[in-house]
């Protein structure tokens, strides 16, 4: 732990430490991908305060209440403090060693009887921003030989991964918006004013810098079905029909080609440009306008502003990704950047090559593409897994590969995925459900085992394979700020020990199991946890062999270092496509686009006339932090409705209403506001998941309603299996 001893030039955290004889340790926040440096003031046992580390070389200025209150999560009374086993209707604490032993025996019995694919995993969002956990869980699944893996990417970014795979030859190729140099921003489906400029890529203070650029004259066009704090700052807010951004983008691409605004050299150097051009030429702007519900004149105006700006970047995030046309939207946003010469150029979206000499190559080496399709639905294996929407059927459909055991690692799919009731019912049928989490939440209520997860303040972290997500060539071998509460083991250790206990070869190498056992023994003798096989051994090996930065430099700089000058033009030399060229028109995407174009434009739905979008709030993180952060305004049971729609349906502001989809009905309160246009209902994602108390036995706490209960699990993007989290069809009625 990097503690601070100097007394000069004290930051606030250090002053506090000096005053109270406390220690300030440095680490970074991992709640959202802004990855702010933190000063963690502690007495060694408890965290007293979490403050921004104003000397952090990458970011601290996005520091917010979520990071500032993170100690409330760490020391929360309901945090799972020890492994617990379900006995009847209650949980009993067991030792870590005993838990690993019993779980290994149960899983081996299931594997022997039903095969490896009967053992499934789901990794949620905080698991993916915990690379050691992610890597060791993946190694565990590989060791037992199971492909029954599900990831949060199938609710989030798998379309983006697929687009990167098809266009650039590697799933992990985040493109950073060059916010300081863009003269025109085209933002689709994102609300950085609440969510920060972070998805698979991260731009410190990105939103503030976009606003600063706008102050200096940059054009800011935001496409969103409703008003948000982001659209309110826009030069132009384009209101769009949810799920139909692809048609809007295709219209822009059509106009670019018709006016010969394309970048000649970049188009000549890419494959598939003629195909794209031909598809665009064969459509009419009127038809595309009808699909996306944006007037032709506005599509033309946006196309001209974007294509003729000196520099520009198009950024499309979760709002356009999380619906049945998500991949098409992501693809066309990249295609637009490509044809207008915005890809990997100043003021556009560039590739930051990460900690390896060729990070894409290392990613492909460690995670080679899997060609086997899912048993149910025939879906692709993307980003390490199959779509989570298929999991309930995989649990319930007999036959080879039927899922009997599941590890839910840092995730809450009953609330975050569609049709939670269906998911919940399927989870109940499992022979063995293991939750690895800090808390027992909605998705863990049928768990046979609760394995405590670490809080990020309690563990080291290094983003190796995702290092190209940083805006600059920055790397941090981050250190824990405090010892884990009650000796809780990091998640990777659980997967390491489970692998060894099950006697399956870690990373396919039996010798590694022996090494792990011997090193654990040495570590017990020396009392140094780093003497036991741990993620740093792997990161060190990879960096020493393939690194663009020296391992020693990383070790010497626990606050992190910027190791390479910012430059454009790294994308093309890093490409992993067969011929080393960008593919502007991958076959599967072209086929899916043609299929959409052959369908009639969206028709009015008389039964479920509204489209149901969702929002995030600054004070929460998906389905967690609901219970620990103060929310200036709770939105957990509120649906936004336009005044005209409210009047037509005889709904008053504040009145209880029933929202119904073809799946179920939920009851919430109406908020009548012109922030949403007619035909759109909007409700926050993240609320309504119960927080249980397996240790204390208190009644579960709940705040708000799970809006995703309404979302059908079968209304999906066929290319990825991503559900329509943002565009379900619903109806609304006043409740007397």
Ligand X SMILES: Nc1nc2c(c(=O)[nH]1)N[C@H]1C(S)=C(S)[C@@H](COP(=O)(O)OP(=O)(O)OC[C@H]3O[C@@H](n4cnc5c(=O)[nH]c(N)nc54)[C@H](O)[C@@H]3O)O[C@H]1N2
- Sites of contact with ligand X (CB under 6 A): 32, 124-126, 130, 152, 155-156, 188-192, 194-196, 198-199, 223-226, 228, 240, 242-243, 245, 317-320, 323, 410-413, 416, 436-439, 441, 453-456, 491, 613-616, 618, 620-624, 685, 707-708, 725-727
Query: Least distance to ligand X from the beta carbon of 195, Å?
Result: 3
In this structure, are strands 47-52 and 84-87 parallel, antiparallel, or unpaired? unpaired
Contact in structure between 359 and 172 (CB atoms under 8 Å): yes
The H-or-E segment that residue 432 falls in is: strand 432-437
Query: Least distance to Mo ion from the beta carbon of 129, Å?
Result: 10
When CB distances are held under 5 to 8 angstroms depending on the partner's kind, the choice from ligand SF4, Mo ion, ligand X, none that residue 155 binds is ligand X
| The binder of ligand SF4 chosen from 23, 31, 164, 663 (CB under 6 A) | 31
When CB distances are held under 5 to 8 angstroms depending on the partner's kind, the choice from ligand SF4, ligand X, Mo ion, none that residue 456 binds is ligand X
Q: Name the DSSP letter for residue 638.
A: E
Query: Least distance to ligand X from the beta carbon of 348, Å?
Result: 19
When CB distances are held under 5 to 8 angstroms depending on the partner's kind, the choice from ligand X, ligand SF4, Mo ion, none that residue 36 binds is ligand SF4
Q: Does 29 bind ligand SF4 (CB under 6 A)?
A: yes
Contact range with ligand SF4 by CB under 6 A, out of 64-72, 156-164, 278-286, 682-690: 64-72
b (16+ CB within 10 A) / e for 477-506: bbbbbbebbeebbbbbbbbbbbbbbbebbb
When CB distances are held under 5 to 8 angstroms depending on the partner's kind, the choice from ligand SF4, ligand X, Mo ion, none that residue 139 binds is none
Question: What is residue 444's three-state secondary structure?
Answer: helix
Tell me which residues in 65-94 interact with ligand SF4 (CB under 6 A).
Answer: 66-67
Q: Does 330 bind Mo ion (CB under 5 A)?
A: no
Query: Least distance to Mo ion from the beta carbon of 128, Å?
Result: 9
Contact range with ligand SF4 by CB under 6 A, out of 31-39, 538-546, 639-647, 653-661: 31-39
Beta bridge partners of 611: 680, 729
Residues with Cβ within 8 Å of 576's Cβ and at least 6 positions away in sequence, in order, are 168, 169, 170, 360, 361, 364
Residue 112, classified by CB atoms within 10 Å of its CB into exposed (0-12), middle (13-18) or buried (19+), is exposed
Q: Name the DSSP letter for residue 178.
A: -
Contact range with ligand SF4 by CB under 6 A, out of 14-22, 24-32, 494-502, 561-569: 24-32
Query: Rounded distance, CA 720 to CA 132, Å?
Result: 25
Query: Least distance to ligand SF4 from the beta carbon of 192, Å?
Result: 11
Nearer to Mo ion, 156 or 493 (CB): 156
| Phi/psi at 120 (5° precision) | -115, 160
When CB distances are held under 5 to 8 angstroms depending on the partner's kind, the choice from ligand SF4, Mo ion, ligand X, none that residue 641 binds is none
Tell me which residues in 149-168 interact with Mo ion (CB under 5 A).
Answer: 156
Does the CA dihedral 234-237-242-246 come out positive or negative? Answer: negative
Query: Least distance to ligand X from the beta carbon of 268, Å?
Result: 31
Contact in structure between 457 and 70 (CB atoms under 8 Å): yes
Q: How far is CA 17 from the centre of its chain?
A: 35
Nearer to Mo ion, 139 or 416 (CB): 416
When CB distances are held under 5 to 8 angstroms depending on the partner's kind, the choice from Mo ion, ligand SF4, ligand X, none that residue 35 binds is ligand SF4
Nearer to Mo ion, 133 or 559 (CB): 133
| The binder of ligand SF4 chosen from 24, 34, 82, 513 (CB under 6 A) | 34
Query: Least distance to Mo ion from the beta carbon of 489, Å?
Result: 26
When CB distances are held under 5 to 8 angstroms depending on the partner's kind, the choice from ligand X, ligand SF4, Mo ion, none that residue 262 binds is none
| Phi/psi at 339 (5° precision) | -70, -25
Give how far Cα 9 sits from Cα of 2, 6, 41, 558, Å. Answer: 17, 8, 17, 20
Does the CA dihedral 350-356-357-362 come out positive or negative? Answer: negative
Nearer to ligand X, 131 or 341 (CB): 131
When CB distances are held under 5 to 8 angstroms depending on the partner's kind, the choice from ligand X, Mo ion, ligand SF4, none that residue 426 binds is none
When CB distances are held under 5 to 8 angstroms depending on the partner's kind, the choice from ligand SF4, Mo ion, ligand X, none that residue 243 binds is ligand X
Give how far Cα 728 sits from Cα of 467, 605, 613, 622, Å. Answer: 35, 12, 8, 19
The full 3-state SS of 165-177, as one line of letters, equals HHHHCCCCCCCEE
When CB distances are held under 5 to 8 angstroms depending on the partner's kind, the choice from Mo ion, ligand X, ligand SF4, none that residue 726 binds is ligand X
Nearer to ligand X, 124 or 478 (CB): 124
Question: What is residue 188's three-state secondary structure?
Answer: strand
344: left (phi over 0), alpha (psi -120 to 50) or beta: left
Residues with Cβ within 8 Å of 387's Cβ and at least 6 positions away in sequence, in order, are 150, 154, 158, 374, 377, 379, 716, 720, 721, 722
When CB distances are held under 5 to 8 angstroms depending on the partner's kind, the choice from ligand X, ligand SF4, Mo ion, none that residue 616 binds is ligand X
Q: Which residues bind ligand SF4 (CB under 6 A)?
A: 29, 31-32, 34-36, 62-64, 66-67, 196
Q: Which residues bind Mo ion (CB under 5 A)?
A: 156
């Amino acid at each position: 732990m990097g503690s601070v001893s100097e007394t000069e030039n004290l930051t606030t955290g250090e002053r506090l430490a000096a005053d109270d004889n406390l220690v300030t340790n440095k680490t970074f926040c991992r709640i959202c991908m802004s990855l702010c440096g933190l000063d963690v003031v502690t007495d060694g046992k408890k965290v007293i305060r979490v403050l921004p580390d104003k000397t952090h070389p990458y970011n601290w200025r996005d520091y917010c209440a979520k990071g500032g209150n993170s100690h409330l999560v760490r020391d929360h009374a309901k945090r799972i403090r020890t492994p617990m086993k379900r006995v009847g209707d209650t949980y009993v604490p067991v030792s870590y060693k005993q838990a690993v032993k019993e779980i290994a025996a149960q899983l081996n019995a299931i594997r022997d009887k039903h095969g490896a694919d009967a053992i499934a995993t789901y990794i949620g969002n905080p698991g993916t921003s915990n690379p050691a956990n992610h890597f060791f869980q993946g190694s565990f699944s590989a060791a037992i030989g199971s492909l029954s893996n599900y990831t949060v990417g199938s609710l989030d970014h798998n379309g983006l991964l697929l687009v990167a795979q098809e266009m650039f030859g590697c799933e992990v190729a985040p493109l950073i918006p060059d916010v300081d140099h863009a003269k025109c921003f085209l933002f689709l489906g994102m609300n950085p004013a609440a969510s920060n400029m972070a998805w698979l890529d991260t731009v410190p203070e990105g939103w503030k810098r976009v606003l600063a650029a706008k102050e200096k004259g940059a054009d800011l066009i935001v496409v969103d079905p409703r008003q948000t704090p982001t659209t309110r700052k826009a030069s132009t807010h384009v209101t769009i029909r949810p799920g139909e951004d692809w048609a809007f983008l295709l219209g822009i691409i059509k106009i670019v080609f018709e006016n010969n605004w394309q970048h000649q050299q970049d188009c000549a150097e890419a494959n598939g440009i003629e195909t794209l051009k031909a598809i665009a030429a064969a459509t009419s702007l009127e038809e595309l306008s009808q699909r996306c519900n944006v007037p032709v004149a506005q599509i033309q105006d946006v196309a001209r502003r974007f294509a003729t700006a000196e520099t520009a970047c198009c950024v499309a995030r979760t709002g356009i990704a999380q619906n049945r046309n998500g991949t098409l939207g992501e693809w066309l946003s990249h295609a637009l950047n490509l044809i207008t010469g915005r890809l990997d150029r100043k003021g556009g979206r560039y590739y930051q090559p990460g900690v390896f000499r060729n990070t894409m190559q290392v990613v492909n080496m460690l995670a080679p593409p899997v060609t086997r399709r899912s048993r149910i639905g025939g879906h692709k294996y993307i980003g390490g897994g199959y779509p989570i929407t298929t999991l309930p059927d995989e649990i319930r459909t007999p036959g080879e590969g039927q899922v009997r055991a599941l590890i839910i690692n840092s995730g809450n799919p009953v609330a975050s995925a569609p049709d939670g009731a269906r998911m919940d019912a399927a989870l109940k049928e499992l022979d063995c459900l293991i939750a690895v989490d800090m808390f027992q939440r909605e998705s863990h209520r049928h768990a046979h085992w609760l394995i405590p997860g670490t809080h990020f303040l309690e563990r080291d972290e290094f983003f190796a394979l995702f290092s190209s997500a940083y805006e600059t060539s920055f790397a941090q071998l981050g250190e824990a700020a405090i010892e884990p509460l009650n000796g809780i083991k990091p998640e990777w250790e659980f997967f390491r020990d489970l692998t060894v206990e099950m006697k399956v070869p870690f990373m396919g190498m039996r010798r590694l199991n022996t090494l792990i056992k011997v090193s654990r023994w040495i570590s017990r003798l020396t009392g140094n946890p780093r003497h036991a096989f741990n993620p740093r051994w792997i990161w060190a090996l990879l960096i020493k062999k393939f690194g663009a930065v020296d391992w020693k430099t990383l070790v010497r700089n626990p606050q992190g270092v910027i190791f390479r000058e910012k430059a454009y033009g790294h994308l093309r030399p890093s490409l992993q496509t067969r011929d080393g060229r960008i593919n502007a028109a991958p076959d599967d995407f072209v086929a899916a686009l043609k299929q959409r174009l052959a369908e009639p434009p969206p028709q009015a739905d008389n039964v479920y006339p509204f489209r149901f979008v969702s929002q995030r709030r600054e004070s929460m993180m998906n389905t967690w932090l609901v219970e620990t952060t103060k929310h200036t305004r709770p939105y957990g049971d509120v649906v936004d409705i336009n005044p005209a729609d409210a009047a037509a349906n005889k709904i008053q502001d504040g009145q209880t209403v029933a929202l119904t989809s073809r799946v179920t009905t939920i009851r919430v309160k109406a908020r009548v506001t012109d922030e949403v246009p007619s035909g759109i209902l909007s409700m926050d994602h993240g609320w309504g998941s119960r927080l249980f108390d397996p240790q204390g036995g208190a009644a579960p706490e709940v705040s708000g309603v799970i809006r995703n209960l309404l979302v059908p699990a079968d209304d999906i993007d066929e290319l990825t299996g991503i559900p329509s989290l943002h565009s379900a069809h619903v109806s609304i009625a006043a409740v007397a």
